[in-house]
A and B are shown apart, each in its own frame.
Chain A
Amino acid sequence: MHLIHLILLLSFIPLAYAQSTPPEILPEAKGELTIEIVGGREEEGGQPIAIAPFGGMAHPPQDLAGIISNNLARTGRFSPTPSYLLPERPTQSSAVNFASWQSAGIPHLVVGQVEGSSAGGYQISFKLLDTYQGGQILGLSYQATLQTLRQVAHRISDEIYRALTGQRGAFSTQIVYVTIEKRGRDKIYVLNVADADGANPRTMLRSVEPILSPSWSPNGKRIAYVTYDVVIAPQGYRDKQMAIYTQDVQTGYRERVSIGRGLNAAPAWSPDGSRMALTLSKDGNAEVYIMNLSSRALTRLTYDPAIDTEPTWSPDGQSIAFTSDRSGTPQIYRVSVNGGTPQRITFKGNYNARARFSPDGQKLALLHNGEEGGYKIATYELNNNDMRVLSRSSFDDSPSFAPNGDMIIYGTGTELSAISSDGRMQQRLGVEMGEVREPSWSPFSE
């Protein structure tokens, strides 16, 4: 009975734990982990749009129109009309009465259909209509299985977003994050990957030791993170050391890329994927290094008795920003990947740390403590030094840009929050039980 149960469980987990698995890792997965939008602050300003319920099947397995509406609403750039306020519910463009949409003040309408079955697959089509012109902006169709139906809703959202904003949508991307489960006196750390809307969570790793600092490879196929390994000390006793691992999201294959005395922390892939910036204290003090991932050769980048950590690559791969308290408080510095003297770039506030470059390289998202009090997420414009505090909570952490730069996801202590980069739209994402933290938004998948 137990065996059957295990097989059933495993059949739902796409991840293998074939790699030598330390005893601390508990290779079981739980399906009940869900992230949901539990609240938010919405201000007017998004452009109106309507996603009519898709026609075709009476009870499709996914509410495609609902998924698309939620996706667009979360960006802050759209205000989808709630379905109960729709003037009509057309499922194809020929049935649309454009005058009724014009009088409702809704310039764009999406109609669509989903047909098929779980056995034979699904056919999905949609049209994006301009209700004032009375014409079609976009029309596409897709094939899907039961498992990929939700992905199709994200693809459609991407197409609508691009057509109406000119920017690439980030709805088909993923997030990695760490959840904490309480088990008696123990905390179980769980590394998870989910769709960008929190759906479809998958367990990557479970451990009684901390799992920290997850980050994506630039091709979106692997995740680097920090955890702790049991090692046998020269004197023969069991000791622990911090280690950096990379893990393949699809196969679960894990590889240890750094272990040693002291810090093995803050891994950050270079934009071309060939190198990794990381923090080591093997020389007695936290310093930033660059590792060549094929040769594992290390190049030391910082030389200061202060803490130097939290490296992040500029999108052009030419420089690295990092946190240092060499001035007395943590501030952000920038240095060429070829070395040289780091330049301090933040001066406003007592505490600026854990920076991440925006995808266009124009600004940083960081953790800021200033006159507002608390530790809040802020953006810092590199060309005019404008520091803008975005969050309202006080124990924030780990900001991460969506790959199109339109949103920032971060931790608020026990939950996640996603905020539009202009600060206008915000949602909280929670888990039913326990804590969720350290989100990192994936790059675009090719």
Chain B
Amino acid sequence: MKKLARLFILCTLAGILATTGCSSKGKIKDGEAGAAGTPPLSGESGIGGSGMPGAGGLDAGGRGGYAGGIPSERVIYFDFDRSEIRPTTQGILEQHAGYLSANRVPLRLEGHADERGSREYNLALGERRAEAVKQVLIIMGVPDSLITTLSYGEERPVDRGQNETAWQLNRRVELIYP
């Protein structure tokens, strides 16, 4: 997963620089190529708001907007049995990366899965989701040492319903500032 997340981010960065797609070679599997090959977010001024992302990571100190407090959106959602970061949620992670880099506070990423399937596999799935978020934050310039991951698998649903609406809410990573 580390490789996948890295590849995804590299593709995204490459996309920002060159606005070309990222061909899915190597380790990308069926069904994941879509996420990895998705064009980068438009409208944003690049990761961290500086002109040249990727040159030396993130210079979040320059983003005064994050000095105010912890970003209010603290949940990242995922597709069924997947742990790729959706392009639409990348903006949330950019805010957190800015806040973390500016304030150097610890962050715990708690991964969760919906109830379908085996409990132990779901524990691993929650961990993989948390790890995917962690890798994105690291590439956005957050020091590795600030981030821990923990999976609760399917143990802590936010919605106990047995339908897709509930399951979608439960497939998530929560960003916890201890």
A161 an interface residue at 8 Å Cβ cutoff?
no
A395 an interface residue at 8 Å Cβ cutoff?
yes
Which of B3, B120, B131, B155 meets A310, CB within 8 Å? B120
Q: Interface stretch among A98-106, A151-159, A162-170, A321-329? A: A321-329
Q: Which of B35-85 contact A (CB under 8 A)?
A: 81
Question: Which of A285, A351, A395 has most chain B Cβ within 10 Å?
Answer: A285
CA distance A226 to B115 in the complex (A): 18
Which of B106, B108, B151 meets A242, CB within 8 Å? B151
Contact between A305 and B2, CB atoms less than 8 A apart? yes
Q: Which of A291-335 contact B (CB under 8 A)?
A: 305-307, 309-310, 323, 325, 328-330
CA distance A442 to B125 in the complex (A): 28
B150 an interface residue at 8 Å Cβ cutoff?
yes
- Residues of chain A contacted by B2 (CB below 8 angstroms): 284-285, 305
Contact between A233 and B106, CB atoms less than 8 A apart? yes
- Residues of chain B contacted by A384 (CB below 8 angstroms): none
Q: Interface stretch among B8-16, B24-32, B88-96? A: B24-32
CA distance A329 to B117 in the complex (A): 11
- Beyond A263-B123, A353-B117, whether A239 also contacts B31 by CB under 8 A is no
- Beyond A265-B120, A266-B120, A330-B121, whether A241 also contacts B29 by CB under 8 A is no
B118 an interface residue at 8 Å Cβ cutoff?
yes
Contact between B150 and A240, CB atoms less than 8 A apart? yes
Which of A228, A261, A329, A398 meets B119, CB within 8 Å? A398
B128 an interface residue at 8 Å Cβ cutoff?
yes
CA distance A70 to B81 in the complex (A): 41
CA distance A54 to B127 in the complex (A): 56
- Residues of chain A contacted by B123 (CB below 8 angstroms): 212, 226, 263, 265-266, 309
Q: Which of B107-138 contact A (CB under 8 A)?
A: 108, 115-121, 123-125, 127-128, 131
- Residues of chain B contacted by A413 (CB below 8 angstroms): 115
- Beyond A240-B150, A305-B1, A309-B123, whether A395 also contacts B162 by CB under 8 A is yes
A367 an interface residue at 8 Å Cβ cutoff?
yes
B19 an interface residue at 8 Å Cβ cutoff?
no
Chain B interface mostly helix, strand, loop or mixed? mixed
Contact between B106 and A307, CB atoms less than 8 A apart? no
- Beyond A375-B117, A438-B119, whether A233 also contacts B124 by CB under 8 A is no
CA distance A74 to B153 in the complex (A): 33
- Residues of chain A contacted by B27 (CB below 8 angstroms): 305
Contact between B127 and A262, CB atoms less than 8 A apart? yes
- Beyond A210-B155, A238-B178, whether A329 also contacts B81 by CB under 8 A is yes
B152 an interface residue at 8 Å Cβ cutoff?
yes
Contact between A212 and B120, CB atoms less than 8 A apart? yes
CA distance A437 to B155 in the complex (A): 12
Q: Which of A189-227 contact B (CB under 8 A)?
A: 210, 212-213, 226
- Residues of chain A contacted by B155 (CB below 8 angstroms): 210, 212
Contact between A281 and B131, CB atoms less than 8 A apart? yes
B149 an interface residue at 8 Å Cβ cutoff?
yes
- Residues of chain B contacted by A213 (CB below 8 angstroms): 119-120
Q: Which of A256-285 contact B (CB under 8 A)?
A: 261-263, 265-266, 279, 281, 284-285
A352 nearest in chain B by CB position: B118
A283 nearest in chain B by CB position: B2
CA distance A367 to B131 in the complex (A): 26
A397 an interface residue at 8 Å Cβ cutoff?
yes
- Residues of chain B contacted by A398 (CB below 8 angstroms): 118-119
- Beyond A237-B106, A261-B148, A263-B123, whether A305 also contacts B118 by CB under 8 A is no
- Residues of chain B contacted by A391 (CB below 8 angstroms): none
Task: Write the A382-403 contact mask toward B (1 if CB under 8 angstroms, else 0).
Answer: 0000000000000101100000
CA distance A328 to B127 in the complex (A): 17
Which of B1, B108, B124 meets A263, CB within 8 Å? B124
Distance in Å from the Cβ of B135 to the closest Cβ of chain A?
9
A354 an interface residue at 8 Å Cβ cutoff?
yes
CA distance A284 to B148 in the complex (A): 11
A71 an interface residue at 8 Å Cβ cutoff?
no
CA distance A325 to B1 in the complex (A): 11
A310 nearest in chain B by CB position: B120
- Residues of chain B contacted by A263 (CB below 8 angstroms): 123-124, 127, 151
Which of A237, A262, A279, A329 meets B149, CB within 8 Å? A262
- Beyond A237-B178, A238-B178, whether A262 also contacts B131 by CB under 8 A is yes
- Beyond A353-B118, A353-B121, A375-B117, whether A233 also contacts B178 by CB under 8 A is yes
CA distance A7 to B123 in the complex (A): 39
B4 an interface residue at 8 Å Cβ cutoff?
yes
A226 nearest in chain B by CB position: B123
- Beyond A238-B178, A239-B178, whether A210 also contacts B152 by CB under 8 A is yes
Contact between A375 and B116, CB atoms less than 8 A apart? yes
Residues of A within 8 A of B (CB): 210, 212-213, 226, 228, 233, 235, 237-242, 261-263, 265-266, 279, 281, 284-286, 305-307, 309-310, 323, 325, 328-330, 351, 353-354, 367, 369, 375, 395, 397-398, 413, 437-438
Residues of B within 8 A of A (CB): 1-4, 27, 29-31, 81, 106, 108, 115-121, 123-125, 127-128, 131, 148-153, 155-156, 162, 178
Can you spell out 14 A-B residue pairs with CB atoms less than 8 angstroms apart? Answer: A210-B155, A213-B120, A239-B148, A279-B124, A281-B149, A284-B1, A286-B124, A306-B1, A309-B123, A310-B118, A323-B121, A328-B31, A375-B117, A398-B119
Known: A305-B4, A323-B121. 17 other contacts (CB 8 A): A212-B123, A212-B155, A213-B120, A233-B106, A233-B148, A239-B106, A239-B178, A263-B127, A279-B120, A286-B124, A305-B27, A309-B120, A323-B118, A328-B30, A328-B31, A353-B118, A438-B119
